[in-house]
Structures are given as structure tokens and as C-alpha cells.
Chain A
Amino acid sequence: MSEIVISTADLRKEFTVSTRVGLLRRARRTVPAVAGVDLTVARGEMLGYIGPNGAGKSTTLKMLTGVLTPSSGEVTVCGFRPVAQRTRLARQIGVVFGQRSQLWWDLPLAESFRLLRYIYRVPAADHAARLAECRRLLDLDAFLDTPVRQLSLGQRMRGEITAALLHSPEVLFLDEPTIGLDVVSKQAVRAFLADLGSRGDTTLVLTTHDLADIEKLCRRLVVIDHGRVVHDGTLPELHARYDSRRRVVVDLDTPWAGRTGVPGAVVEAVEADGHRVTFGLSGGTAGELVAALARDGALRDVAVLEPDIEDVVARLYAEPAGDDRVASR
């Protein structure tokens, strides 16, 4: 087994929030944002930490990076306890919070990068080499001299990622790195991260609501809901668990009359007065189904759809996470 870079045991964070009731009285309420997360991540993994809004993803990341003190439980990242050894950990990790800038608002991007060299104490040659690499891969040159506050979101995000990598961290934490980006910027960021991850010595932990990010970047998925892990495994495992199917959509010359019996295919939808039928495959192959339909004649067109991660995730989120969760609500 390869080296462990992140491990947590029964990690919890509760927030006490007080809400006004009446003129002066306030009611205090405890929100269990993270409710017992056990997580082990090995060096070089690309981990997608996903879950619906308010599931506790950002809160977990903040505990892993030393920003928030856990209410209870154990955390070790790169061999350090994040809060107690915050500054030492900070040298080993890079952080990109999509919603919030880590850069200096009034400084040009290039100036921020220069400042970071001193803050992280990076040797001049290493810094120059890494910056050159990021400039090339992320196309930074056009806006290096622009103050951060004048950058577009996509430009800023590329700057943020560069800033997080200049000290060549062991682990890169990304909280919604593609949020609000257009298709082109998303692809640029994704391609860059995929490349970084494939080099194998940087561990990536990212949260996202973008399912394409998950498919392109995450070899392993940890799904959390209401502060608990509800799934931990690869994308294919997730599909298997939720029995998600490839689909075959066929267009027919004559309306569908429910003739074909192919084991392992279920009719999911009949549209256009029976001229278009969608089959879900569970066991059977697309080839067998198409062959059977062709035997019956009247087959005009065929499309095969890959299993849809969006569906799986939607189903996952909708599913209750067990008894404790019901109790905690």
C-alpha cells in the first residue's frame, strides 16, 4: 500500500447558530456540518469529494487545511495535525477555494506570484521553472500584469491554481475550482488538473458540482450527505451499485408494439406515438437488442447512451443515508 497523505477518523464539526426569535430572545441550535467522516487518501490519488449543497464538503476541506478546528475526531495531513501544526502543513499543501480568492486583490498577478515565493520560501530557480510551466499550460501571459480585482473569473481561477502550485505542494485541495467558468475555461482547468494528477506525485482532492469534472478528474469518489460518507469507491463501482444502465434509443418505422423480448433490456420510455423507444440495458448487450429489433424489421436508427453520472448522483442524493440521519434532523 502506498503512502497515506490524509487520514481522518470520526471527524466532526458542529456549528452553533443562533437565530432571533422575537425581539430580544435568541434560540441556539447546533448544526452538525460534518458528522463522523473516516477518510484515507494515498499519495497521488485524485479524489472527488462530492455531495449536495450543505453536505459538509467545504467544512471538511477547511478542517483538512487547518482553517477550522474540528469539534472532535482525528485528522492527519502530510503527517501533520492541521490546526496545531498549521504553518508547517501550509508549506505542504496548496489550496484553491473557488468562491474566494487567495490572491492579493490590489496587486498584479505577477506581483502576487513573486510575493508567494517569499512567503513559501521557494528557491528562485524552482519558482521560475514552475511559473514558466503554469504560464504555458494555463495561458497566463495575457493578464500577468493585471491587478487581480480586474481579472475575469476564468483568468482569476487560472491564477489561483498557479498560486497554489508554485511551492509544489504534496496535496492540492480544490473547492469548486470550475464554478462559474465558461466551457473553454473549464476545459483548460480540467486538462491542467488531469495532467497534474497523472504525474502521480501530487494528490488532488476536489469538490465539485460539475459532473464532467468528476468523470474527467476523479478516479475515486467519496460522496457525502448530511456530513456522512454515503459512498466511497470508483465511478464504475458507483454505477454498479446504483445499477445505472447504458441506454439504447431506437427509431422505428412502425409503432412499437411491445414485441421484442430481449433478456436484460427494459423499456424505459416510448415516445413519438411509438416511433421512438428507449431501452435500459441491465445485463444484456446493445448488440443483442439491436439484432433482435432488426429481426423484427422496421429499425430506422439507433443511438447508444453511456450511463449518466448525473442520474446516479441524483439518485444517491435522494436516498436516505440511514437511521442516524433521520434522528439528527
Chain B
Amino acid sequence: MADLLWRRATTPTGRPGALAGYRQLLAAQVRSQLQYRASFAMDLVGNLLLTLMDVAAVVVLFRVTPVLGGFTLPEVLLISGLANLSFSLCDLAVGNIDTMRQYIRTGRFDAVLTRPLSALLQLVCGDLALRRLGRVTQAVVVLVIALNLAHVRWTPARAVLLVVAPSFGAVLFGSVFVAGSTVSFWFIESGEFSNAFTYGGRDFTAYPITVYAGWFRKAFAYGLGFAFVAYYPALAILDKPDPLGGPRLLSWSSPVVALAAAGVAAFIWRIGIRHYRSTGS
């Protein structure tokens, strides 16, 4: 009778759906994280402190100067809030893509490639860090406070922008994370290099781009698209003309910019994966 059991599947009944694999990987990941409650709580507190420090840094700056690059404290807080929310949403999903370097260095990526799922999504599902939920909440809190201080005049369009901007901001950051970690397919010890763009990008977006100058502003704001994460959407929400003279349309460009970045990142990823060399043993 044993032979019967080995027969290839013919009945589609009870066959899991196409996304079930990802869902179950995520669930397994969450379960294993909840096993370590103590460290989970400590990370939450640690993240809270980090966010407070970020806000404190902005407030301290304004003790020295009443305006920063043409923006008041509540306005800058709004920009920071949008930037942090974008970043923390992205960090929640793909922040641990850094572990990819470990996968590649140790050859564990082999196992990822032999499964019938997207390699990138497997890494994302396997590395989701729940503890980062705390950062998302804190970013929302900062954002709400800033919106109140800035006396925003709400319109439906501005409300929509408040959702669209962080969502696509997260996509843009995610693209930078993915593209940056792809470098490790070629150079295995490449950690600091990609951090310059991811964490550097977060810090860049937290302030109005008017405080930066020259090629640095051009490269980060437009080359990598970071101006579209928080700066331009904030201008529209605040109903403030661009000190740099850009058109209003730029405030609504983040989806286009983010999707273009995602396309580029996906392209780099596909090339990178073909350069994966595994390990000798």
C-alpha cells in the first residue's frame, strides 16, 4: 500500500493558497518572537527612548534659532514625523534585510533559493521584527502633536496626503534598503556602505531640505528621491510655498518616485541574485 501514498498529488482539495506560504512564515516568525517577552519589552522601551532623542534634537536646535531653513518648530516636527513614520513602517517590514548579509556569507541563502517562493519576500517574512511596532506608534504620536501645533487647515486632499505620503515614503525607504543590501551579493562585507543611504536617508528626510546645500542636497533630495518622502508632502499639508520655488505638483509625486525606486531596486536585486556565489562547502 505504501506505493499509493507516494503517488503524485492529483486532487486539488485542501491545497493551500498561493499566499499561504508567506502567511505561515510570518506567523512562525511572530510566534518565535513572542517567546522572548522580556527582551521584547526592553526593545520597546529602548525604541521609545530613541524617538524621544530624535524629537529632543529638533527642539534643542530651535533654542538657538527661531527658524530653520525657513521653517518653524511645528513645521519641522511635521517633517520629522512624516519622515520617521515612513522610515519606521519600512523598518518594520524590511529593516532586517541586513541579515541578508549573514544569509549570503554563510550560504544559508541556498535554502531560500530552493523553495518555491520569492527569495526577497521569504527574507522579509522571516525577519519581520515586531518590536519595531513601537517605533511606528511613536512616530504617529509625534506626527499628531506636530499637526496640532502647526494649525493645519484640513481639506480632504490633505487628509489623503497624510496617508499616502508615509506609505509611499516607506516604499522608497524599502527600495533603498533592498538596493543597498543587494551590494552584498558582490561585496560580502558591505554593511556600512548601505547604511549611509538608509539611516543617512532617514536623518536627511527628518529636516527641511533647505538646510542642506549643493551637490549633497541634489544627490539625496532628488537623486535618491528623499525630498518626496516628507519635505514636499509637508509643504502641501502646511499650505506653504516651496522656498526653493518648486511647483505644487511635487507634493503629490511621492507615489511615482517611490514606485520608480522600487522598480530600480527590483532590477538591481534580480541582477544581484545572479551573482550569488554560495559558499564552497
Mark A residues whose CB is within 8 Å of B: 15, 58, 62, 65-69, 83, 86-88, 90-91, 93, 95, 97, 99-102, 104, 106-107, 111, 114-115, 117-126, 129-130, 132-133, 168, 199, 201-202
Contact = CB atoms under 8 A, between A and B. Distances in A.
A123 B13 contact: yes
Contacts of B3: 199
B259 to A, nearest CB: 23
Contacts of A130: 5-6
A106 B32 contact: yes
Contacts of B23: 118
B113 A86 contact: yes
Contact of A87 (B11, B13, B117): B117
B74 interface: no
Given A68-B277, A121-B21, A123-B11, A62 B110 contact: yes
Contacts of A91: 116
Contacts of B277: 15, 68
B115 interface: yes
Given A101-B111, A118-B24, A119-B25, 11 more contacts: A58-B281, A62-B278, A90-B115, A97-B110, A97-B111, A106-B32, A121-B16, A123-B15, A130-B5, A133-B2, A201-B8
Most buried by A among B23, B107, B114, B277: B114
Given A100-B108, A119-B24, A126 B113 contact: no
Nearest to A87: B116
B274 interface: yes
Interface string B1-38: 01101111101111111101101110010001000000
B36 to A, nearest CB: 11
A108 to B, nearest CB: 11
B237 to A, nearest CB: 42
B76 to A, nearest CB: 43
Interface string B101-135: 00000011011011111100000000000000000
